[in-house]
Structure 1
Amino acid sequence: MRTIGSVLPLPSTDEAAGLSLWDFWTAGASWAAYSSARSALAALLAQRRARRVWLPAYACPALMEGAVAGGRQAAWYAVDERLEPRLEDLQSVRPGDAVVGIDYFGRPPGEDFQALARSQPDVLWIEDRAQALAPGPAWGAVRLFSPRKLIGVGDGGLLVAETELPQPSAPPSRTEAGAQAARAHDPEGLAPQTWFPAFQAQEAAFTVDAAAMSARTTKVLRGCAAQPLIDARRRNAGFLAAALADIALWPEPPAWPPLAFPILVPDAAAFVQGMAARGVFCARHWADLPSPARFAQAHDLSRRLVSLPCDHRYGEADMARIARAVREVQAGAR
């Protein structure tokens, strides 16, 4: 039986039928294409001379790596049990600071946070769209994309804005997407030993540098149609929302196409193992948070949140199988 989830396969680079991902994300604005999102973030903060960067307590270590590169100071703000920013923690933001907000799983933050961003134009508001395929109208002055989270490419960090952006000063350091190419040759996912170790090695090799995005990733983004990806993710997430509303992070069917479908369980680590035993590979976004332990809500979410695959590779039968596996793992844990 084929497996579900894990590494995305390298897609074809045929000409997009409809608006490409590249055009959908850039939409005629300025852009700068780096090897990774952390590198793009570091370059942006250096260009804007931000000395202090505010990060949400629920974030991946790579985001902090890019934020503090060059000796910048990191400050933190809390999120609630549904990953909404707590605005009271941002009362100390000052002109010249930068604030990073995350469109978690593709979902933009609430209107109160967006209104705060609009009210402080002397602060650099960065919209982290690493998990966001199509979150809706931009709320950040600069948008930051990480294509390899959403399609099967090996690198890439894309800045998009209406103002001048810093450009990479070094040629691409990555020219291959070996793990993603190997995954494409194993469509049933039955031989993870041929692609998963390579994927882990690729991910571990990322650093903050000034390298440009690879030509291969650029070609894929320019040749991959956006709308089919959006439609499939939204449709699959809608099925899971109906089947698993009682444990969903957000019970309502998503209006946005999510990176994955987030659920809350008592023990994420054990749950992921149980799902893997049933051939469904789930991620944890994120198992290790860089924020201080005093942000108890964020760290509790980290121990409980599991990301169910719902990407464009799959259809309703796959979502039904995922839902059944979830209930089986739940029953076994009782």
Structure 2
Amino acid sequence: MAQSASEVMKAIGGYFEIENEGVGIFPHKAGILLNTGRNALEYILLSIFDIRRIYLPYYTCSVVLEPIKRLGIPFAYYHINGNLEIDGQVMLKEGEYIIANNYYGIKDAYIETLVERYGDRLIVDCAQAFFAPIISGIKMFYSTRKFIGVPDGGVAYCDKGTNLFHFEQDDSIDRLDHLYIRKEQGAEAGFKLYQANEKKLDNQNVCLMSTFTSDILERIDYTSIVTRRRENYLYLHKVLKGINHLSLPKMDTFCCPMVYPYMSSIDKNIRQKLIDNKVYVARYWSNVQPYRDFYREVDMANRIIPLPIDQRYGIDDMDRIVKIIAR
């Protein structure tokens, strides 16, 4: 029986397959290599001895709260504006710190301005900005899984960390199936295993990065990844900027985007249309629900569609995405 067009259609986006090995230099050799991004944040928080309260954006992933709640640190939310920046001023008192997100990997230049404002009381969430520059003296944490086909992994930067001998080394052996199945059988075949792997990463103890993950990260062509992502981002932006309701910074102000954030008009169900055509786009974040007066954040969560631009795809794939949106 002949396959239909939908059966042979290439899937775009979604979780990664196991990464092809190449030749490159891991950009975070100087960091503290841990098992997840959220545990990299916990490592940073453990290094701060005078912390009384932490501020974080309401528009963020709920897993950021895992280490904050586990350590019993009081927290408060702040608003962001339409430029994905802090809305107004968050004035810090003694013992207070602030987490700022490098959203979608496109806010490198803005983060530099926050360094001037908050200094060493700034913690930069680079979970979506794997290639964002490391800033000396600033606490930063990164996640590997949003950019590379690995089962786990996070990186922390801070001046005075906990002795690493206190931590066991992680083991990735039970988190690999979805990576190989996607490579051999496609996105749909391994999706449930991917979801199961995400659950396994919840509430993990802080551990050193597994040998499996660190070995893969040492053998990746990072230059090609950055080049491909920037090319794909630029193509989408040239075509979609006139109908994108989100204000985006110029490309020369950031190193490497995670996705192309496209903010759709209210009346179009573009997200579902893309998914129906095997372009798998996430929703950042499902935990951002109506709460107090965080109306803009909820609107962003509903309307911003993170279009895939990663190293697995080229201009033909970007053109397919554009045509689906235009239908």
TM-score interval, normalised by the smaller of the two chains? 0.7 to 0.9
For residue 296 of structure 2, what is the amino acid of its counterpart?
Q
Partner of 2:243: 247
Structure 2 portions without partners, runs of 5+ = 1-8
Cα distance in 1 between the residues matched to 2:112 and 2:198: 32
Q: How far is the alpha carbon of 1:152 from its aligned partner? A: 0.9
C-alpha RMSD over aligned residues: 2.4
Cα distance in 2 between the residues matched to 1:259 and 1:314: 13
Give secondary structure in 1 for the equivalent of 2:296.
Answer: helix
Partner of 2:153: 156
Residues 198 and 64 of structure 1: CA distance in aligned 2, closer, same or farther (over 3 Å): same
Cα distance in 2 between the residues matched to 1:234 and 1:275: 21
Give secondary structure in 2 for the equivalent of 1:79.
Answer: coil
Aligned length: 311
Partner of 1:331: none
Structure 1 portions without partners, runs of 5+ = 329-334
Partner of 1:332: none
**What fraction of aligned residue pairs are identical, expressed as a percent?**
25
* 1:73-152 to 2 correspondences below 5 Å: 73-88=74-89, 90-91=90-91, 93-108=92-107, 111=110, 114-121=112-119, 123-136=120-133, 138=135, 141-152=138-149
Partner of 2:38: 38
Give secondary structure in 2 for the equivalent of 1:149.
Answer: coil
Cα distance in 2 between the residues matched to 1:285 and 1:171: 30
For residue 262 of structure 1, what is the amino acid of its counterpart?
P
Instruction: Using structure 1 for the length normalisation, give the TM-score.
Output: 0.85
Q: How far is the alpha carbon of 1:199 from its aligned partner? A: 0.4
Aligned match for 1:8, one of 11, 16, 23: 16
Residues 268 and 210 of structure 1: CA distance in aligned 2, closer, same or farther (over 3 Å): farther
Give secondary structure in 1 for the equivalent of 2:141.
Answer: strand
Q: How far is the alpha carbon of 1:139 from its aligned partner? A: 7.7
Cα distance in 2 between the residues matched to 1:77 and 1:71: 19
For residue 277 of structure 2, what is the amino acid of its counterpart?
R
Cα distance in 2 between the residues matched to 1:125 and 1:268: 38
Q: Deviations over 1:93-127 (max 9, x none)?
A: 1232221111111022654x644433444x53111
Q: How far is the alpha carbon of 1:197 from its aligned partner? A: 0.3
For residue 135 of structure 1, what is the amino acid of its counterpart?
A
Partner of 2:3: none
Partner of 1:177: 176
Cα distance in 2 between the residues matched to 1:223 and 1:120: 36
Partner of 1:25: 28
* Structure 1 runs of 4+ with >6 Å offset: none
Tell whether the 8 Å contact from 1:268 to 1:305 is kept in structure 2 after alignment: no
Point out the more displaced range, 233-242 or 263-272. Answer: 263-272
Instruction: Using structure 2 for the length normalisation, give the TM-score.
Output: 0.87
Q: How far is the alpha carbon of 1:265 from its aligned partner? A: 1.7
Cα distance in 2 between the residues matched to 1:134 and 1:323: 26
Partner of 2:296: 297
Residue 209 (str. 1) matches residue 205 (str. 2): yes
Q: Deviations over 1:180-226 (max 9, x none)?
A: 1211213xx3x61x210000011012214122221111111111121
Residues 106 and 37 of structure 1: CA distance in aligned 2, closer, same or farther (over 3 Å): same
